[in-house]
Structure 1
Amino acid sequence: MKVTMNVECTPEEARAFFGLPDVQPMQEHLMSEMQERLSANLKTLDPNTMISAWLPTTVKGFEQLQEMFVSHINPAKKS
C-alpha cells in the first residue's frame, strides 16, 4: 500500500511542528561577523601589502637556494 500526502507550509511552520529551534538569529549574527572578517582580510589583498609581506621571505629563500648551489659546485670550500 502506498500513501502520498502533500503538506503546504512555510519552513518556519515546519520547524515549529517538528520542535526544531529557530536558528535564524544565530545565522544572521554569524553572517555579519563573517562579513566583517572578510572585509578586514580584503584590505590585506592590496598588492603593495602583499609584496611587502612576501618579498623578504622570497628573497631569503632565493639566497638560501644560491648558497646551496654554490656549496655543491665548490665542495672544497665549506664553511
Structure 2
Amino acid sequence: MKITFDIDCTPQEARAFLGLPDLAPLHDLYLERMKTMVTEGLGTADLERLTRTWMPGIADNLEQWRNSFWSSKPTGG
C-alpha cells in the first residue's frame, strides 16, 4: 500500500508549520549590507575582517605579511 500527500503551501507557511524561525528580517539586513558594500566598496577594516575569516593562516601574521608586501622592491625589467 502506498499513501501520497500533496501539500500546497508557500515556503514561509512550511517554515511556520515546522516551527522554524522567520529569517526574512535577517535576510533583508544582509542584502542591504551587501548593496552598501557593492556601492561604497570595501573599507580597510572590512578587508581585514574578511581575510581573518577566509584565510586564518595569513590572518595570524597579517600585519607582518602586509609590511613585507609593501616593503618589497620590484625585480626584473
Identity of matched residues, %: 38
TM (norm. structure 1) is 0.52
Higher Rg of the two aligned structures = 1
- Structure 1 runs of 4+ aligned residues shifted over 4 Å read none
Query: Which residues of structure 1 form unaligned runs of 5+?
Result: 43-56, 67-79
CA distance, structure 2, for counterparts of residue 3 and residue 32 of structure 1: 45
Match of 2:26 in 1: 26
TM (norm. structure 2) is 0.53
More helix by share: 1
Give 3-state SS (helix, strand or coil) of 1:7's partner. coil
Give 3-state SS (helix, strand or coil) of 1:65's partner. coil
CA distance, structure 1, for counterparts of residue 12 and residue 19 of structure 2: 10
How many residues are matched? 48
Match of 2:16 in 1: 16
